[in-house]
Chains A and B, each alone.
Chain A
Amino acid sequence: MAGTNTGYGMDLLRFATAGSVDDGKSTLIGRLLLDSKAIFEDQLEAVEATSEAKGYDYTDLALLTDGLRSEREQGITIDVAYRYFATPNRKFIIADTPGHVQYTRNMVTGASTADLGLVLVDARQGLTEQSRRHAVILSLLRVPHLVLAVNKMDLVGFDQTVYEKIYAEFTQFATKLNVPDLEVIPISALQGDNVVTRSENMPWYSGPTLMHHLEHVHVASDRDLIDARFPVQYVIRPKSDEFHDYRGYAGQVAGGILKPGDEVVVLPSGMTSKIAKIDLFDQEITEAFPPMSVTVHLEDDVDVSRGDMIARVKNAPSPSQDIDAMICWMTTTPLQPRQKLAIKHTTRTGRALVKDIQYRLDVNTLHRDQATNELGVNEIGRVTLRTTVPLLCDPYSKNRTTGSFVLIDEATGVTVGAGMING
């Protein structure tokens, strides 16, 4: 790819698109890739040929990301497409998500790992229920940075008042959400205005282009480096002569900084020990922090297995079997009290019983409907669960890894719910 650099020093920004169907998400990603020279000749030629064959007046850039046959046939996005590009200092992982309400679960999939959410709005239509739903989901998922792209400005004559009206409407709505960082950019995804190059059609706009913002948004402080959390994934026991007594706990650091000598507690047993050393492949390292995958050794021969968590003695989550969480429900059979599901939280798996559905969130008004007794597909609500195993969890607002879980239907094996723990 032209315009790219090698990856040693680069940092990483993951972002996800969001917004109603046809607001131009896929077109925008196509434009971003094209203008940052991340599209190869053979890819562009294929898309030009398809657009021509379909009798379009212009090249449909959405075809660059709508990679499934049914998506191309229907002209909509069904599932997330992951695309990649890089500028000299940053690599971007883009999740282009579907706007159609039926595929909200796929939008949640794409947004769950994002550092930044890019909500598109069609300038002609303003905010729709779906743009609000997606903004609510991004805020619940604690995606720390939000961009509202007012798209199709070409269709409203690049009119500043249209932009300002949507800007005002959205900021009004966003005050009720958790949106720590918001940027509102008027664009035309189709023509490229304010995407990579500054628009000459909108001299009244003095803010950054989308690309400039993506390159410079500060993501360093989004991680928790205070509360050490190490979910044990796998116990490494070589059973070889050379490494006869080797016993290491492998996992990915979920929070804080781990160092040899740290006094630690193993949960849920509560046994304490000290970190003897930390391995990264064949090297011993002096500290481990998120999201490193390392192997931790303890000084004492305590019982540790997959699903346990290593934390600091004076700063550990308290194991709990009563979970209060926001749930995005993702299947057509509604979530109801007394339902039993499998639950996966960090490296722990157990079963969960739905004790109570406290309320359903109306994504338009943010009203809490307490009268409801179930959550339908694509609905969001606050739920109380009782789990068979204690979860070693933090509030999702403190830690996106130790605060999240998924619910799995035990009969079908399908992931049916995404949970974010309150606290």
Chain B
Amino acid sequence: MTQTHSDYRLSQLDQLEAESIHIFREVAAEFEKPVLMFSGGKDSIVMLRLAEKAFYPAKIPFSILQVDTGLDFPEVMETRDRWVARLGVNLVVASIDDAIKNGIIPDAAKISRNRLQIPTLLNAIEEHGFTAAFGGGRRDEEKARAKERVYSHRDEFGQWDPKNQRPELWSLYNGRLHEGEHMRIFPISNWTELDVWDYIGREDIEIPSIYYSHQRRVFERDGMLMSETPLNPLRDGEVVEERTVRFRTCGDITLTGCVESTASTIAEIIDEVAVARKTERGATRGDDRFSEAAMEDRKKEGYF
């Protein structure tokens, strides 16, 4: 039996959970072929947990989709595989390398893998005929995300039109689509970074080990601490040294920086997040730093 509610009040975390579960069930009921976009990061793991709860004891009634950039942290892949095995869900991997090989996207060595994720993702959505794709985006992450609906409509080119979003009233979501269009669904829109950590702690669920403090060989670039890896050759003047670090987000290994930290438990991470002076993306995501509208521009094109 769970906690009693003598005053019939739900804590804010329980309210967020209930709202997200409602969204998962709504999508499963109304869309022909939903898919959950899984990056392996903490937000997509929280999504998986919520989906697990929404349909328990039935299996999650849709596949999960991962865009394999070829630049993912190995620890993230390991965690992904354990989650997939435990839940018995179907995993679809859309690989950027395959997309290049098959001529679906140009092999533009100069284009960042981050941008190549977009056509790879859109191609996978089209190829599999997915009509709704769950994403782990949170509105507190970034100011363009703060504007996005829970059901975010994408036209036949996969694009978002931020100036012309559908009204979204109460919890009455409108999932109408035309041929070739799809919907991005953000079930944890209203969660903050702290809520996500609280929830991971409360649910006691596995996340990739790189979120916890560990020793790592790193070098400094653009004010961020980057992981040493053959995928990301050193530039002039960059020196590698071992530091005690952890990651605040999991992205492309060549663009995602870490922070110095000794936080090795969820409680310690929460303490750290609670006093952080920089946003998780601003602090450690090279892909968001290009310009003030970097996220908005990528989202318009069809980014997560």
**Chain A residues near B (Cβ < 8 Å):** 1-2, 4-12, 40-43, 46, 50, 64-70, 72, 78-84, 86, 90-91, 93, 105-106, 108-109, 112-113, 220, 223, 225, 233-234, 236-240, 242-243, 246, 250-252, 257, 279-287, 289, 291-293, 306, 330, 342, 344-347, 400-401, 404-406, 408, 413-415, 418
Contact = CB atoms under 8 A, between A and B. Distances in A.
21 contacts: A1-B276, A2-B274, A7-B11, A7-B195, A42-B282, A67-B144, A67-B145, A84-B140, A108-B169, A113-B170, A234-B25, A236-B55, A238-B57, A240-B58, A281-B53, A286-B1, A342-B176, A344-B172, A346-B172, A347-B26, A415-B166
Contacts of A280: 2
Chain B interface extent, by class = 35 or more
Nearest to A289: B8
A255 B146 CA distance: 29
A220 B1 CA distance: 24
A252 B18 contact: yes
A406 B176 CA distance: 13
Given A8-B13, A405-B172, A418-B169, A243 B57 contact: yes
A64 B170 CA distance: 25
B278 A6 contact: no
B139 interface: yes
B1 A285 contact: yes
A292 B190 contact: no
Task: Kindly name the residue among A109, A223, A240, A257 whose own CB sees the greatest number of chain B CB atoms within 10 A.
Answer: A109
Contact of B57 (A12, A233, A282, A345): A282
Nearest to A111: B169
A119 B76 CA distance: 46
B55 to A, nearest CB: 6
Contact of B25 (A10, A233, A240): A233
Interface string B32-62: 0000000000000000000001111111000
Interface string B132-173: 000000011011111101000000000000110111111110
Nearest to A404: B170
Interface string B169-199: 1111010111000000000011010110010
A414 B166 contact: yes
B163 to A, nearest CB: 6
Contact of B54 (A9, A243, A250): A250
B173 to A, nearest CB: 8
Given A68-B162, A285-B1, A404-B172, A42 B283 contact: yes
A412 B28 CA distance: 22
B21 interface: yes
Interface string B3-41: 011011111111101110110011011000000000000
B287 interface: no
Contacts of B235: none
B274 A4 contact: yes
B2 A413 contact: no
B163 A70 contact: yes
Contact of A8 (B55, B143, B167, B198): B198
Contacts of A418: 167, 169
A279 B53 CA distance: 10
B231 interface: no
Given A42-B283, A236-B58, A282-B57, A415 B167 contact: yes
A300 to B, nearest CB: 21
Given A40-B277, A233-B29, A240-B59, 6 more contacts: A2-B277, A6-B198, A68-B147, A79-B162, A240-B58, A401-B170
A418 B172 CA distance: 10
Nearest to B28: A234
A10 B142 CA distance: 24
A289 B10 CA distance: 9
A112 B54 CA distance: 25
Contacts of A7: 11-13, 194-195, 198
Task: Kindly name the residue among A9, A79, A342, A347 whose own CB sees the greatest number of chain B CB atoms within 10 A.
Answer: A79
B128 interface: no
B146 A238 contact: no
Given A42-B283, A293-B54, A225 B28 contact: no
A43 B174 contact: no
B292 interface: yes
Nearest to A82: B139
A306 B7 CA distance: 30
A293 B296 contact: no
Contacts of B189: 82
A91 B202 CA distance: 18
Contacts of B56: 236, 279, 281-282
A11 B162 contact: no
A81 B293 CA distance: 15
Contact of B9 (A11, A82, A347, A413): A11
Question: 4 shortest A-B CB distances, which residue pairs?
Answer: A67-B143, A413-B176, A42-B282, A293-B21
A242 B189 CA distance: 34
A237 B58 contact: yes
B279 interface: yes
